[in-house]
């Protein structure tokens, strides 16, 4: 088990034990967005030039009164153990295991054009029936696929794009 997985699982246990799962998810999501969007905050948080105490003090100034004390304690533990560079991976694992805990699966559907709302609802409904889980559907646009769709759910990939059909046809004609 990786460092990121260990920290993610520990945070999920704290969240479940305290009944603060939704709040901790919001806190973590907010932090990751800020670290991603703000280079100065990211540099302070992940730089080895700043001590753990300096990082904790900076975090406290930024998130005091915004984050729950359990999540702040988690961030302090990360700073104390010098694990800040893993924060994005910890978040990825946290979302993955939280989804599993809450019986949810994330599905990416890549299309050349945005899905119509009724078609998106149909896809979601069929996947929920098939998986028995709540489906969080994300439609991404990629004009290169020309038409059709590429569906990705965990390690499951279905490529019914026009581009893939052309590639397969080319291989068949060449051989």
pLDDT digits (tens, 9 = 90+) for 95-144: 999 999 999 999 999 999 999 999 999 999 999 999 999 999 999 999 99
Rounded to two decimals, what is the model's pTM? 0.82
- Say whether both 76 and 35 belong to one domain: yes
Beta bridge partners of 105: 135
- Of 99, 125, 149, the residue at which a domain comes to its end is 99
SS3 content of the chain, % helix, strand, coil (to 5): 65, 15, 20
Q: What is the pLDDT of residue 127?
A: 95
CA 65, CA 175: separation in Å to the nearest integer? 65
* Domain count across the chain: 2
- Say whether both 82 and 109 belong to one domain: no
Residue where the block lists tokens 């059709």: 148
- CATH number, domain of 46, equals 1.10.520
CA 83, CA 117: separation in Å to the nearest integer? 42
- Say whether both 140 and 168 belong to one domain: yes
* Residue of 104, 175, 100 lying closest to 138 (CA atoms): 104
Q: What is the pLDDT of residue 86?
A: 95
Q: Which three-class secondary structure state does DSSP give residue 156?
A: strand
CA 108, CA 8: separation in Å to the nearest integer? 23
- Say whether both 20 and 92 belong to one domain: yes
- Of 43, 71, 99, the residue at which a domain comes to its end is 99
Task: Please name the residues in contact with 101: beta carbons below 8 A apart, sequence gap of 6 or more.
Answer: 12, 16
CA 100, CA 98: separation in Å to the nearest integer? 5
- Say whether both 12 and 30 belong to one domain: yes
- Say whether both 26 and 94 belong to one domain: yes
- Say whether both 95 and 144 belong to one domain: no
- Of 99, 118, 149, the residue at which a domain comes to its end is 99
- Say whether both 117 and 59 belong to one domain: no
Instruction: Encode pLDDT of 52-91 as tens digits.
Output: 888 888 888 888 888 999 999 999 999 999 999 999 999 9
- Say whether both 57 and 16 belong to one domain: yes
Q: What's the DSSP call for residue 153?
A: E
- Say whether both 94 and 137 belong to one domain: no
pLDDT surpasses 80 at 175: no
Q: Which domain holds residue 122?
A: 104-174
- Say whether both 158 and 89 belong to one domain: no
* Residue of 165, 64, 5 lying closest to 73 (CA atoms): 64
- Say whether both 60 and 8 belong to one domain: yes
């Amino acid at each position: 088990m990786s460092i990121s997985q260990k920290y993610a699982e520990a945070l999920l246990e704290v969240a479940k034990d305290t009944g603060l799962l939704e709040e901790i998810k919001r806190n973590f999501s907010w932090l990751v967005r800020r670290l991603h969007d703000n280079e100065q905050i990211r540099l302070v948080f992940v730089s080895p030039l700043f001590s753990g105490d300096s990082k904790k003090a900076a975090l406290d100034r930024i998130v005091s009164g915004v984050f729950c004390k359990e999540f702040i304690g988690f961030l302090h533990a990360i700073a104390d153990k010098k694990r800040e560079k893993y924060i994005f991976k910890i978040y990825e694992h946290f979302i993955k295991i939280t989804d599993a805990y809450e019986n949810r699966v994330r599905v990416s559907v890549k299309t050349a054009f945005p899905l119509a709302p009724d078609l998106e609802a149909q896809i979601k409904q069929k996947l929920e029936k098939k998986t028995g889980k709540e489906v969080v559907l994300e439609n991404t646009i990629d004009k290169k696929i020309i038409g059709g769709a590429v569906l990705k759910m965990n390690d499951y990939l279905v490529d019914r794009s026009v581009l893939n059909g052309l590639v397969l046809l080319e291989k068949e004609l060449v051989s």
